[in-house]
Amino acid sequence: MANMKLYLLLGLFAFFLRMLVIQGAEGTCRLLGKFDLHGYVESENHMLIIGGMFPIHFRTIPEKEPTTSEPVSPKCEGFNFRGFRWARAMIHAIQEVNNRLDILPNITLGYHIYDTCFTTSKTVEGTLAYLTGQNETMPNFRCSAGAPLVAVIGAGGSTLTIASSRIVGLYYFPEVGYASSCSVLSDKYQFPSFLRTIPNDNHQSLAMAELVRHFGWVWIGTIAADDDYGKYGIKYFKQNVEKSGICIAFSETIPKIFSREKILAVVEAIKESTANIIVVYSSDIDLSPLMEEIANSNITGKTWIASEAWVTSALIAKPEYFSFLGGTIGFGVRRGDIPGLKDFLLDVHPDNAASDDLTIEFWQTAFNCTWPNSTVPYNTDFRINVTGRESGVHPVSDQLCTGKEKLEDIKNTYLDVSELRITYNVYKAVFTVAHALNNLDTCVEGNGPFPKNSCAIIYDFEPWQLMYYLKNVKFTTFDNELVKIDDNGDVYASYDIINWQLNETGEISFVKIGIYNDTKDGHEMKIYNNDSIFWNTPTLKPPRSVCTENCQPGARKGIRHGVPACCFVCIPCADGEISNKTGTAQKECFPCPDDYCSNTLKNECVLKEVEFLAYDEALGTTLVAVSLFGACIVLSVTIVYRIHRDTAVVKANDRGLSFLIQLSLVITLLTSFLFVGKPKEWSCQIRQVTLALGFSLCLSCILGKTIALLLTYRGSKLNAAEKHDHISMQSFHQKLLVLISMIIEVCICTAYLTCIPPYVYKNMEFQNVKIILECNEGSIEFLCTMFGFDVFLAVLCFITAFIARKLPDNFNEAKFITFGMLVFFIVWISFVPAYLSTRGKFKVVVEIFAILASSFGLLGCIFLPKRYIILLKPERNTEEIISGKATTNDNSAPSTSASCTSEVTNSTLSSMVLDE
Ligand code: TRP
């Protein structure tokens, strides 16, 4: 908006110019208006003049809209001792150049300094005055006969410089800034003739962001002056911090034109915010009313981050503000000492230049007196009445100045040379111009940079020719600092990090706590010693500034809609997920690896408990013991059979088959050992197979038995020789049957194990905290085929036994087998639903139960009745009773069969014994 106005102004101005020139050519020039500019001029007897613009006053006095009277250029108010020091430093620097023999030995420089009053309008007035001369009637021509102006130093604040630099840029007239740090001034397209000795603010914004990150502050308020400096500075700072997840709690602007309401609104925002860190990008002049209001409102507990324009300003760093502003951290541009400056500053007296308004005003303000016979209004220091700014010039003080007042006796910003930062920049700016002029002067014809290797002539050169030398300037100051201007007109960035502390005399001292330097590869920030920093907090520890405290490990940040990301809620992690970090990395919880689950605090993944039926737990031990017990019983049966091998009961049964059945029962009983314990690849692979083989051996033997029972009955009708053949054939068939069934089963098992074998499987589906270690059966189809064959055999057994149960036999063998088969079926049929409905290790328990139950069932039904007879009823263990002769005389057939069977058994057994 301000720029728009300026353009409009310039446009109008250009129009009048044209009119004037045209009319001028016809001989009628008209003075459009007179500027009211103040400053210092020293041009006589000098060959070249350097211009300078400094804020020697704080502001202009707002005039009422002129309507009926002739408009006049506004007056200024609020004497700025700091700006006055800068202006005096320029004069000092020029004098030094003039005294030095190595720079411009034959040429002396004059100066032309204007007061900008820290306003754009005065700056533009000054700039135009430079270009045309103050009393010229013909702008665009510089007609005066005086020494040519070579460059302008200035104009202080960035907004002022932007305005003036746009004008001088039109003529490619050099302007060297000493305080204008705004980043846009590096744009050579807009400001082709601007250079500066202060670093570009982008570096400062980056440094501030780095500082904020360094101390872990994430909730920050920003305040910017309502000008290019404040707005661009804060904008770049925000861009930088927001990248690192830092949030801006509030963004306020300080008005350029004093407005109490607007300042109170800013104060209110600060008061209400929970942000303890406030970054302020503003000149001290603009910030001063806000700080006064902050002191009035008694806002404490905030840590202020200062930009270079106010970090060492006596206007803000007042001891009475220390309780609010103590501990402020800021960035100051490199400081330097200027030899002889202090003496030069002291050498100012209204008597030396009686007509000089500024010096008189300085004297009057410094000593609070009125210079005799002076029309210069007396002006207090920068004063604001909190009820509204007092405008206008203050009444003349009653006390008359004597001229004998001693500057040495007063404490004044003007004389404070302890923090020469901007002053040092002014000094460097003058030397930049001087060195450029010197280079221009020392150019050797034929080696020059201009067309045909020509040189410019120091008495008569064009601004663009000096620009060439300015852009290539490189020199070292007496402070041993290398000043080098780059292509954008910028210098290398180097800042001191300054902390406000209270010294013994009760004043604020600016303690250097670190540095920030722009290096070739990035930048480096060094904070010397964290303990040397003063923090204005009750604990004297670094403040914290967060919207919401970080979540504890075990929780994650949950977004709250409509508020910045730094204000969040903490949501505990779900089961199986953890978060063990705090800070920015806590956006989400991370799932634990497969074998792990989260602990109760959700901050660590712990190994899941592995569950399987172990030998050392009660259930495992019991089952193993039972199966071992079963195996012992079977063994005892074998022993009993062996001892009583010649008794009728034993002989009545095929001993080979009985032995195989016993063997198979031992096998099936002992497979429970494979089911208990940690499943291994090998145990998974053999356990079902062994079981299936065990059962198929057992069932095929039983089938052999039952078929034999059926066939024996038929054989009973044969004669003796036929019977013998029949019996040996039958024994052979029995063995063949067992062999074939075993071969079939072995084939199925082999195919199963080679094609899709079972494997160890970590089952994590059912429980989050446990891994169930189990065997995955690989192929269900193969498993079913394998056990299906067993079932097939069992069904055959059952059918044959069922048919044979009515046949008269020795001692109801077929009945017992039928019964045994029924037990077998019942066990395995009830096994299926039980197995499917259990989980984890109990699945294995169910299976072992089924194995044990079916094995014991078979054992009980097939062997125990016989053992009972052998051991407890030896009187019934006679061939007569066994063959049924003793009880059923009418039934001859079974007896034959029984004796036949015993014969067969005998022969088989003897052959087995032989085999052994
Ligand atoms: N850097 C400021 C700008 O670009 C000007 C500045 C620096 C300033 N130091 C200052 C203004 C001290 C006033 C007082 O606008």
Phi, psi for 602 (deg, rounded to 5): 60, 30
User: Mind spelling out the 3-state secondary structure of 480-509?
Assistant: CCEEECCCCCCCCCEEEEEEEEECCCCCEE
In this structure, what token pair is assigned to residue 221? 């308020």
Q: What pLDDT is stored for residue 236 in this prediction?
A: 93
CA of 182 to the centre of ligand 1 (A): 9
Evaluate if residue 415 carries a pLDDT over 50.
Answer: yes
426 pocket-lining for ligand 1 (C-beta < 6 Å): no
Distance separating alpha carbons of residues 786 and 846, to the nearest angstrom? 19
* Helix, strand, coil share (%) of the chain residues, nearest 5: 45, 15, 35
Helix (H, G, I), strand (E, B) or coil at 254: strand
Q: Which amino acid residue places its CA nearest to atom 12 of ligand 1?
A: 309
309 pocket-lining for ligand 1 (C-beta < 6 Å): yes
Beta-bridged to residue 515, according to DSSP, are 496, 526
Atom of ligand 1 nearest to the CA of 310: 12
Closest CA to 3 of 167, 187, 239: 167
180 pocket-lining for ligand 1 (C-beta < 6 Å): yes
Distance separating alpha carbons of residues 870 and 647, to the nearest angstrom? 8
Distance separating alpha carbons of residues 502 and 484, to the nearest angstrom? 36
The predicted-structure confidence for 675-708, as pLDDT tens digits, reads as follows 888 888 888 888 889 989 998 999 898 888 888 7
181 pocket-lining for ligand 1 (C-beta < 6 Å): yes
In this structure, what token pair is assigned to residue 403? 């001229």
CA of 468 to the centre of ligand 1 (A): 27
Atom of ligand 1 nearest to the CA of 229: 15
Cis geometry, peptide bond prior to residue 625 (ω within 30 degrees of 0): no
345 pocket-lining for ligand 1 (C-beta < 6 Å): no
Q: In testing the pocket of ligand 1, which one of 59, 181, 235, 283 has its CB within 8 Å of the most ligand atoms?
A: 283
Q: What is the pTM of this model?
A: 0.68
312 pocket-lining for ligand 1 (C-beta < 6 Å): no
- 618-915, which class in CATH? mainly alpha
The predicted-structure confidence for 207-233, as pLDDT tens digits, reads as follows 999 999 999 898 999 999 999 999 999
Atom of ligand 1 nearest to the CA of 159: 15
CA of 283 to the centre of ligand 1 (A): 5
Q: Which amino acid residue places its CA nearest to atom 15 of ligand 1?
A: 157
441 pocket-lining for ligand 1 (C-beta < 6 Å): no
81 pocket-lining for ligand 1 (C-beta < 6 Å): no
283 pocket-lining for ligand 1 (C-beta < 6 Å): yes
Look at 183-197, 207-221, 727-741 and tell me which has the smallest mean pLDDT: 727-741
Q: Which amino acid residue places its CA nearest to atom 13 of ligand 1?
A: 283
365 pocket-lining for ligand 1 (C-beta < 6 Å): no
CA of 118 to the centre of ligand 1 (A): 10
285 pocket-lining for ligand 1 (C-beta < 6 Å): yes
pLDDT band at residue 723 under the 50/70/90 scheme: low
CATH fold group of domain 201-307+309-338+491-532: Rossmann fold (3.40.50)
- Whether the CB-CB separation of 692 and 790 falls below 8 Å is answered with yes
Q: What pLDDT is stored for residue 892 in this prediction?
A: 36
Within 11-108, strands assigned E span 39-42, 48-54, 57-60, 76-79
332 pocket-lining for ligand 1 (C-beta < 6 Å): no
Q: What pLDDT is stored for residue 381 in this prediction?
A: 44
Q: Which amino acid residue places its CA nearest to atom 9 of ligand 1?
A: 309
> Which residue did the predictor score with more confidence, 900 or 626?
626
Q: What pLDDT is stored for residue 880 in this prediction?
A: 64
CA of 310 to the centre of ligand 1 (A): 8
611 pocket-lining for ligand 1 (C-beta < 6 Å): no
Q: What pLDDT is stored for residue 719 in this prediction?
A: 63
110 pocket-lining for ligand 1 (C-beta < 6 Å): no
The predicted-structure confidence for 610-625, as pLDDT tens digits, reads as follows 888 888 888 889 999 9
Atom of ligand 1 nearest to the CA of 309: 9
In this structure, what token pair is assigned to residue 876? 């019934």
- Proportion of the chain above pLDDT 90, given as a percent: 24
CA of 772 to the centre of ligand 1 (A): 72
- Whether the CB-CB separation of 33 and 134 falls below 8 Å is answered with no
The predicted-structure confidence for 735-762, as pLDDT tens digits, reads as follows 888 899 999 999 999 999 998 888 888 8
Evaluate if residue 192 carries a pLDDT over 60.
Answer: yes
In this structure, what token pair is assigned to residue 467? 């620009």
> Which residues in the chain are classed under CATH 1.20.1070.10?
618-915
Q: What pLDDT is stored for residue 763 in this prediction?
A: 80
Evaluate if residue 728 carries a pLDDT over 80.
Answer: no
Atom of ligand 1 nearest to the CA of 177: 4
DSSP state of 146: S
How large is the average pLDDT for residues 307-334? 90
Q: In testing the pocket of ligand 1, which one of 422, 424, 490, 496 has its CB within 8 Å of the most ligand atoms?
A: 422
Task: Tell me, rounded to whole angstroms, the distance of Cα 400 from its chain centroid.
Answer: 67
Q: What pLDDT is stored for residue 678 in this prediction?
A: 86
Phi, psi for 419 (deg, rounded to 5): -125, 70
How large is the average pLDDT for residues 239-268? 90
CA of 251 to the centre of ligand 1 (A): 20
pLDDT band at residue 448 under the 50/70/90 scheme: confident
Q: What pLDDT is stored for residue 155 in this prediction?
A: 85
229 pocket-lining for ligand 1 (C-beta < 6 Å): yes
CA of 507 to the centre of ligand 1 (A): 23
CA of 55 to the centre of ligand 1 (A): 10
228 pocket-lining for ligand 1 (C-beta < 6 Å): no
Q: Which amino acid residue places its CA nearest to atom 8 of ligand 1?
A: 309
CA of 180 to the centre of ligand 1 (A): 6
The set of residues, in sequence order, having a beta carbon less than 8 Å from that of 520 and lying 6+ positions away, is none
**Residues for the chain: how many in total?**
916
819 pocket-lining for ligand 1 (C-beta < 6 Å): no
286 pocket-lining for ligand 1 (C-beta < 6 Å): no
Distance separating alpha carbons of residues 798 and 191, to the nearest angstrom? 108
Which architecture does CATH list for 39-61+74-199+355-443?
Answer: 3-Layer(aba) Sandwich (3.40)
182 pocket-lining for ligand 1 (C-beta < 6 Å): yes
Distance separating alpha carbons of residues 156 and 146, to the nearest angstrom? 26
How large is the average pLDDT for residues 243-252? 89
Select, from the ranges 58-72, 416-430, 775-789, the one with the highest average predicted confidence (pLDDT).
Answer: 416-430
> Which residues in the chain are classed under CATH 3.40.50.2300?
39-61+74-199+355-443, 201-307+309-338+491-532
The edge-to-edge listing of strands for the beta sheet with 109-115 is 39-42, 109-115, 48-54, 149-153, 175-177, 194-196
Integer Rg of the chain from CA: 55
Q: Which amino acid residue places its CA nearest to atom 7 of ligand 1?
A: 309
200 pocket-lining for ligand 1 (C-beta < 6 Å): no
Evaluate if residue 606 carries a pLDDT over 70.
Answer: yes
- Mean pLDDT, rounded, of the chain: 81
Q: What pLDDT is stored for residue 879 in this prediction?
A: 67
